[in-house]
């Protein structure tokens, strides 16, 4: 994804680096930035270390990225029971030296509010899979 600053951002699941990760290029893809290395290759900034993360980045009007992603893609039958969609808003540094996880547009966190400790934020589960939360 090309950002307004000229930085290229790549987001992908990584078996090697663990979870959903991002790599950044300040120079049109000639070099890529991201902490950690494996086999001589950068494996990127951690976005969500708990998922493999098939994803789709969306450029928002303010220049931030909204990343929609899912857990594993259902490689095993048991994965279907925990399959979920996630969304994160990410700020990419103009020098391609880092990312920031930001509150989603219009969220209580962006407005400086809190859901309150212990308050439910929704219900879930899938009756067809036998899950009721």
pLDDT of 52: 73
Is residue 69 a contact partner of residue 42, using CB atoms and an 8 Å limit?
A: no
Cβ proximity of 7 and 65 under 8 Å: no
**pTM, rounded to two decimals:** 0.74
Q: Give me the tens of pLDDT residue by residue for the chain, a chain 133 residues long.
A: 999 999 999 998 876 656 888 999 999 999 988 876 656 555 788 888 878 778 999 999 999 999 998 876 556 777 677 777 888 999 999 999 999 999 877 788 888 887 655 444 444 444 444 444 4
pLDDT score, position 38:
59
- Contact indicator for 19, 53 with CB cutoff of 8 Å: yes
Check residue 3 and give its pLDDT: 97
Identify each DSSP E strand in 6-114 by its residue range: 8-13, 20-25, 37-38, 41-42, 45-48, 55-59, 65-70, 85-92, 99-102
Instruction: Please report where in the chains the tokens 């900034």 appear, as a residue.
Output: 45
Residue-level pLDDT at 39: 61
The confidence score (pLDDT) of residue 127 equals: 44
Model pLDDT, residue 54: 82
Predicted pLDDT of residue 129 = 45
If you ran DSSP here, which 8-state letter would residue 67 be given?
E
R_g of the chain, CA atoms, integer Å: 17
């Amino acid at each position: 994804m090309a950002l307004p600053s000229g930085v290229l951002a790549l987001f992908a699941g990584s078996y090697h680096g663990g979870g959903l990760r991002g790599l950044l290029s300040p120079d049109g893809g000639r070099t890529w930035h991201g902490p950690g290395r494996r086999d001589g290759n950068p494996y990127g900034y951690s976005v969500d270390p708990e998922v493999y993360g098939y994803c789709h980045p969306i450029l928002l009007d303010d220049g931030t990225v909204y990343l929609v992603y899912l857990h594993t893609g259902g490689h095993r039958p048991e994965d279907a029971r925990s399959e979920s969609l996630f969304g994160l808003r990410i700020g990419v540094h103009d020098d391609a030296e880092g990312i920031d996880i930001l509150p989603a547009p219009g969220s209580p966190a962006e407005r400086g509010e809190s859901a309150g400790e212990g308050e439910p934020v929704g219900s879930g589960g899938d009756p067809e899979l036998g899950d009721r939360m």
